[in-house]
Amino acid sequence: MQMPTQKTMTRHSEPIEPKIQPFAQMIKNNIRSYSMVVALVLIMLLFQLLTDGILLRPLNVTNLILQNSYILVLAIGMMLVIITGHIDLSVGSVAAFVGALAGILMVQHHVPMIVTVVLSLLLGALIGAWQGFWIAYVKIPAFIVTLASMLLFRGLTMVVLKGQSIAPFPKSFQNISSGFLPDVFHGKNIHLLTLIIGGLLSILFIWLEIKKRNNAKTYGFDVIPAAMFIGKLISIVVVITVFSYVLATYEGIPNILIILATLIVAYSFVANKTIVGRHIYAIGGNEKAAQLSGVKTKRVTFWVFVNMGVLAALSGLIFAARLNAATPKAGNLFELDAIAACFIGGASAYGGIGTVSGAIIGGLVMGVMNNGMSLLGLGIDWQQAIKGLVLLAAVAFDIYNKNKAS
């Protein structure tokens, strides 16, 4: 047997040289995500100028978070549904129904808040399982199943509430949407804990990005130039620092922001780093090919809708807590705002493409537009018309990119 020569051994032991990704190629590969981030920044700057600086005042920034929290929760779940190639039109009605039952339990029957929240989330899971069964196993199109559920649970909401609102909720429940993280350092004019958390997040972000870049270099993957990498780190750290300072000058970090951050991190990890996430993308890309590859497509689709039901229930609880009432009109058009957030955030109308962070960016675009137009005194009629045009433009942009790539 021929022994390897010293030359051969040296060649195989050499480290793999990383490839520096050209700027133009990087923009082309990430055009969806970059375009929406740029659009969000430009929209914020535009309304900041038009509103004479009101948009980014600490009070209004906090209100932006509180006002859009329930839509962002729905957008996270809706993104997974859209990636699999389906749609869910029932989430607004499910949110209203769960909020109504939570009101009955807590206000009328004095059930403890924790027990009510757990029961509400379990109810959302059961509703999602009900829909997932018809969609995944009976093969009824998701549009039809969720449209039927939208009508069903909207009607049931009116039945259980008897056309009236139920209020008020216990203070502990209201704090889900209106409470803030207490400042254990007792800052006088500024929330010190918020600043410390912002600093820690900046350090964590820098460490994770450096680790990610080093891993990419180790395996010879494309990396962006060092100057751009440093610029990216500085830009994100500045955003985190400014955002933390703005929150710290008001009441600090809202409780709902902690819930949102937890969901974003958890679902981003599931979508990008787990087998389940890869299966979800595979189903959206080509369901038949995924099934032939061993993916249990029916089971994955079923659990995606169970997850959507849980997040719809959570959204209903958040909205009820913010409103401090369970009302028959709750959840109206929530599904359209969540779907719009996903498509604006880069989801493909054909399935198989989308990110959790993109859904959040899309939701923020919608939220900033709503808030900015309200501050300018623009009527709800014009707001709806403008949002419709933005959604159409986002989907047209997606189809244009798809056709250009093919």
* CATH number of the domain within which 121 lies: 1.10.3470
Last residue of a domain, one of 219, 253, 287: 253
Residue 405 has pLDDT above 90, yes or no: no
Residue 258 placed within a domain: no
Note whether 173 and 316 are same-domain residues. yes
Note whether 243 and 300 are same-domain residues. no
pLDDT tens by residue, 133-186: 999 999 999 999 999 999 999 999 999 998 899 989 999 999 999 899 998 888
Note whether 200 and 338 are same-domain residues. no
What is residue 220's predicted lDDT score, i.e. its pLDDT? 81
Note whether 302 and 171 are same-domain residues. yes
What is the average pLDDT value for the chain, to the nearest integer?
A: 88
What is residue 157's predicted lDDT score, i.e. its pLDDT? 94
Residue 129 has pLDDT above 60, yes or no: yes
* Closest alpha carbon to 336 in 146, 135, 206: 146
What is residue 13's predicted lDDT score, i.e. its pLDDT? 46
Note whether 70 and 211 are same-domain residues. no
* Gap between the Cα atoms of 110 and 104, Å rounded: 8
Note whether 295 and 173 are same-domain residues. yes
Q: Which residues pair with 259 in a beta bridge?
A: none
The 8-class DSSP code of residue 19 comes to E
pLDDT tens by residue, 313-337: 999 999 999 999 999 999 888 999 9
Note whether 234 and 346 are same-domain residues. no
Please compute, for residue 188, the number of CA atoms within 13 A of its CA located in the half-sphere on the CB side: 0
Q: What is the extent of the structural domain holding 128? A: 54-178+275-405
pLDDT tens by residue, 173-203: 999 998 999 988 888 889 999 999 999 999 9
Residue 41 placed within a domain: no
Note whether 185 and 160 are same-domain residues. no
On the question of a cis peptide bond just before residue 170, with omega within 30 degrees of 0, the verdict is no
Residue 333 placed within a domain: yes
The total domain count for the chain is 2
Note whether 281 and 314 are same-domain residues. yes
Residue 19 placed within a domain: no
Residue 330 placed within a domain: yes
Residue 395 has pLDDT above 60, yes or no: yes
Residue 203 placed within a domain: yes
What DSSP line would sit under 359-388, residue for residue? HHHHHHHHHHHHHHHHHTT--HHHHHHHHH
* Average pLDDT for 23-37: 63
Residue 10 has pLDDT above 50, yes or no: no
User: Which one has a higher pLDDT value, 263 or 35?
Assistant: 263
Residue 262 has pLDDT above 70, yes or no: yes
Note whether 134 and 84 are same-domain residues. yes
Last residue of a domain, one of 222, 253, 284: 253
pLDDT tens by residue, 52-83: 989 999 999 999 999 999 999 999 999 999 99
Residue 4 has pLDDT above 60, yes or no: no
Note whether 203 and 109 are same-domain residues. no
Note whether 148 and 286 are same-domain residues. yes
Q: Count the neighbouring beta carbons within 10 Å of the beta carbon of residue 319.
A: 26
What is residue 31's predicted lDDT score, i.e. its pLDDT? 59
Residue 355 has pLDDT above 60, yes or no: yes
Give residue 221's pLDDT band: very low, low, confident or very high (50, 70, 90): confident
User: Which one has a higher pLDDT value, 383 or 122?
Assistant: 122
What is residue 27's predicted lDDT score, i.e. its pLDDT? 58
Residue 13 placed within a domain: no
Residue 282 placed within a domain: yes
